[in-house]
Amino acid sequence: MYDLFSNLAMGFGVVFQLAPVDLGFAIVPIPMNVVYCLLGALVGTLIGVLPGVGSVATIAMLLPITFGLPPTGALIMLAGIYYGAQYGGSTTSILVNIPGEATSVVTTLDGHQMARQGRAGPALSIAAIGSFAAGCFATILVAALGAPLTAMALKFGPAEYFSLMVLGLIFAVVLAAGSLVKAIAMILAGLMMSMVGSDLESGVGRMTFGLAEFADGIGFVVVAMGVFGFAEIVRNLEATAESRDILHAKITGLMPTKADLKASAPAIIRGTLLGSIIGILPGAGAVIASFAAYTLEKRVSKHPERFGKGAIEGVAGPESANNAAAQTSFIPLLTLGIPPNAVMALMVGAMTIHGIVPGPQVMTKAPDLFWGMIASMWVGNLMLIVINLPLVGIWVWLLRVPYRLLYTSILVFCAIGIFSINNSSFDVVLAAGFGVFGYWLIKHSFEPAPMLLGFVLGPLMEENLRRAMLIARGDVSVFFTRPISGGLLLLSAVLLILAALPALRKKRAVLVED
Amino acid sequence: MSDTTQPASRQRKLTTGHHTLDWWAAGTPLLLALFAAESARHFDPASGIGIFQWVLCAALAGLAVVIIALRVDVTNHRDYYGGLALIGLALLGLWAGSDLAGMRGFSFGAGTAPRLFACGLAITAAIVTVTGLVTEGEPLGKYAVRGPFFVCLGVTAFALLIRGVVFDWNGATIKFPAFGLVIASLATFLISAFASRETRWVESIITSVGLTAFCWFLFVWMLGLPFQIWPTFLLAR
């Protein structure tokens, strides 16, 4: 317990550290990390508000912007974008009935109904309060679980790492929308494509088609930007001009009533707990958390018929859950070095660009970065609640930017972003190719998220598989006889079988599609 | 969320006979069978990977024959063609990596893991393909042409204009000069604006100029990224 607080204190020390900044007329000490955190949270809210701009594409787009920053500042900012997006998404869901993010789709159900009944204010503030409460809890959870999980991770050998990644990928399969087999196919496609480039051991170029540009492999930003950024744009262009019935009524009375608070407090607690657990699980993330929380609220409610007609629990539960999950999904990344979802996969890339190898050694080698990032999450959440409610008007006004101007601007930004990572024109064209591939995937109802996860985990998996096999002198049974590794594989198998069982398959379909 | 997922596909009996012959459904696996044979040629037919590829080749050819002979009606186009295309991707991987060393004793060669993943992909994709024949699914949505075309064109234009590219093709060299950030971002914006039917040109041109200025401000002035800004080869004269 004492350790926890001293570590958190160190983290807050890092966040509030003053750095001398030359403002032109004077050198002023400014807590730069707070500034980065604020910037990240604001950008995150912005993209959360704008429909059709997801957090994966934005973080990929903004990676080059963080090149010039110190690593801690860069990661604080990127993390801020992710959880900021969870706040922003709820705003538009409630006011305009357009979910800005996939994570706030369920919030439209009851949130927008509340707004129609003239209770937009309480809906917005409950969403913010719920998110904040969840954020506080998740921050402490990340801090508390960080040290023990890291200690456990240090005992992991290559076989355990491999099995853990298998488990992560199986989670991604089980929780993906649609068909199980298709999700597995997507993961394998990602794994295979990640093998392009030089072999780590022998240095030979693999599957490069003789192109020098492939020698370093395919950049994950290229894939992410293609299948998430460009493909999304193309898909959105297909939809005819959507009518955005912006709520013109003035938002009066932000404060929820006592009855509102009483009704939503247990929902916030349930949502936070559920979201925290789902966030830690590899392969899941905030989308599933919000859907699960809504289902749970409906299940435990004494009046389930109120849901969909403006029940405040239907806002409080999912909004707390998605924010909690967004934050706890940092746990596997920071302690084990394994990204549990597409956004965290991008964070791996960001860390690598800044020369940090994600994994258990981050906590011991760069404690200021580790704890600084965790503390920044709490600071960011506090800033979000203070900033966002007064700024609601601005966010709604931003929604009037027509998509025809938005997508062209996003394309230019993406192109510059991809280009600046390696100064490579080839990467830009390749991303366009992946955009077409992503569009094809959507048309054939394949999920791109498991593919990106497979793509990121591929090299790690190969390395650990190779090492494990070498140590065991070619004996495959090592994965099953070592207790931790065997347990993880057993768990993966059980999960896969459970998900394939007809009874559960139906439930999963309901949960995912609802 | 709910609009992107298809409802759980319904189980149905494989319908054969009394249908018109679907040439696409038969031709695609036939083409892939030829590709599988070409890819298998590079491997020792007695090795595991060689056998796998020949079996895959035979299975694909067999599928084509069955579809022609029994006039099978493809009912889940998304899965059927989706699975076939992924088989194609797996074959492409096997073909492109056919020069890589395999296992040496118990140590992995450069090609072991890629082949492992490619074979896994081929097997799961085959299951998806078969699912496409025995389940009923939504029809394939229409592909838009205008959107993807102009988005790709705009992005490719950026790649060509920003840095200058030299194509070297059988000795013939085509040099594309570097136009720099300003021209590249204007071009990308305006070309990709064609992708939408709602574009209004005056508005788009004004925004593109504003955005270009913003990009210059952010990436060059604030962040100091080393971009060429103007077409220097023109200004030099």
Please report residues of A whose CB lies closer than 8 A to that of B228.
none
The partner residue sitting opposite B144, judged by closest CB among A65, A237, A466, is A237
A249: closest CA of chain B, how far (Å):
28
Q: What's residue B229's pLDDT?
A: 83
Question: Per-residue confidence at A506, pLDDT binned at 50, 70, 90?
Answer: low
Whether residues B57 and B118 share a domain: the answer is: yes
Whether residues B107 and B157 share a domain: the answer is: no
Whether residues B160 and B192 share a domain: the answer is: yes
Please report residues of B whose CB lies closer than 8 A to that of A463.
none
Q: Which chain B residue has its CA at the smallest distance from A231's CA?
A: B148
Give tens-digit pLDDT for A399-441. Answer: 777 888 888 988 898 888 888 878 888 999 999 999 999 999 9
Measured between alpha carbons, how far is A265 from A126 in angstroms, rounded to an integer?
9
Give tens-digit pLDDT for A311-338. Answer: 888 888 888 998 888 888 888 888 877 7
Token representation of residue B223:
């962040």
Helix (H) or strand (E) holding A197: strand A197-198
Whether residues B170 and B207 share a domain: the answer is: yes
Give tens-digit pLDDT for A114-164. Answer: 888 878 888 888 888 888 899 889 888 888 887 787 787 778 888 888 888
pLDDT at A277 over 50: yes
Burial class of residue B53 (count of CB atoms within 10 Å of its CB; 0-12, 13-18, 19+): buried
Domain that holds residue B58: 23-134
Whether residues B28 and B126 share a domain: the answer is: yes
| Residue B70 counted as domain residue | yes
Measured between alpha carbons, how far is B116 from B75 in angstroms, rounded to an integer?
31
Tell me the helix, strand and coil percentages in chain A, rounded to 5.
75, 0, 25
pLDDT at A53 over 80: no
Helix (H) or strand (E) holding A27: strand A27-30
Question: Per-residue confidence at A253, pLDDT binned at 50, 70, 90?
Answer: low
From B86, B112, B134, the end of a domain falls on: B134
* CA A329 remoteness from chain centre: 7
Helix (H) or strand (E) holding B165: strand B165-169
| Residue B4 counted as domain residue | no
Q: Report in angstroms the alpha-carbon separations of A133 from A99, A261, A273, A321, A421.
A: 22, 13, 11, 10, 37
| Residue B3 counted as domain residue | no
Whether residues B34 and B124 share a domain: the answer is: yes
Whether residues B68 and B115 share a domain: the answer is: yes
Question: Per-residue confidence at B4, pLDDT binned at 50, 70, 90?
Answer: very low
From B134, B158, B181, the end of a domain falls on: B134
The partner residue sitting opposite A411, judged by closest CB among B108, B109, B154, is B154
Question: Per-residue confidence at B1, pLDDT binned at 50, 70, 90?
Answer: very low
Using the structure block, give the residue that is written with the tokens 């508390």.
A144
Give tens-digit pLDDT for A10-39. Answer: 788 877 877 776 666 667 777 888 888 888
Percent of the residues in chain A that have a pLDDT greater than 70, as a whole number = 91
Question: Per-residue confidence at B6, pLDDT binned at 50, 70, 90?
Answer: very low
| Residue B5 counted as domain residue | no
Q: What's residue B83's pLDDT?
A: 94
Question: Per-residue confidence at A504, pLDDT binned at 50, 70, 90?
Answer: low
A50: left (phi over 0), alpha (psi -120 to 50) or beta: beta
A175 contacts A284 by C-beta, under 8 angstroms: yes
A320 contacts A131 by C-beta, under 8 angstroms: yes
pLDDT at A244 over 50: no
Q: Contact A192/B93, CB-based, under 8 Å?
A: yes
Mean pLDDT of chain A: 81
ipTM: 0.89
The partner residue sitting opposite B106, judged by closest CB among A188, A461, A474, is A474
Token representation of residue A90:
């709820």
Nearest Cα neighbor of A168 from A345, A370, A286, A377 is: A345
Amino acid at B29: P
Name the CA dihedral angle for A360, A365, A366, A371, rounded to a multiple of 10 degrees.
Answer: 50
A445: left (phi over 0), alpha (psi -120 to 50) or beta: left
Whether residues B31 and B54 share a domain: the answer is: yes
Name residue B172's beta-bridge partners.
Answer: B169
| Residue B52 counted as domain residue | yes
Give tens-digit pLDDT for A65-119. Answer: 777 788 888 888 888 888 888 788 888 778 777 776 777 778 888 888 888 887 8
Q: Contact B101/A208, CB-based, under 8 Å?
A: no
From B106, B134, B162, the end of a domain falls on: B134
The partner residue sitting opposite A509, judged by closest CB among B8, B107, B113, is B8
Mean pLDDT of A295-306: 82
Measured between alpha carbons, how far is B180 from B164 in angstroms, rounded to an integer?
8
Measured between alpha carbons, how far is B162 from A103 in angstroms, rounded to an integer?
36
Mean pLDDT of A172-201: 86
Nearest Cα neighbor of B110 from A205, A216, A457, A161 is: A205
Q: Which chain A residue has its CA at the smallest distance from B116's CA?
A: A192
Would an 8 Å CB–CB cutoff place A496 in contact with chain B?
Answer: no
Percent of the residues in chain A that have a pLDDT greater than 90, as a whole number = 8
> pTM of this prediction?
0.83
Whether residues B67 and B121 share a domain: the answer is: yes
B187: closest CA of chain A, how far (Å):
9
Whether residues B205 and B164 share a domain: the answer is: yes
Q: Contact A412/B181, CB-based, under 8 Å?
A: no
| Residue B216 counted as domain residue | yes
| Residue B2 counted as domain residue | no
Q: Which chain A residue has its CA at the smallest distance from B104's CA?
A: A474
| Residue B61 counted as domain residue | yes
Please report residues of A whose CB lies closer than 8 A to that of B148.
234, 435-436, 439
Structurally, chain B folds into a number of domains equal to 2
Whether residues B163 and B130 share a domain: the answer is: no
Whether residues B110 and B205 share a domain: the answer is: no
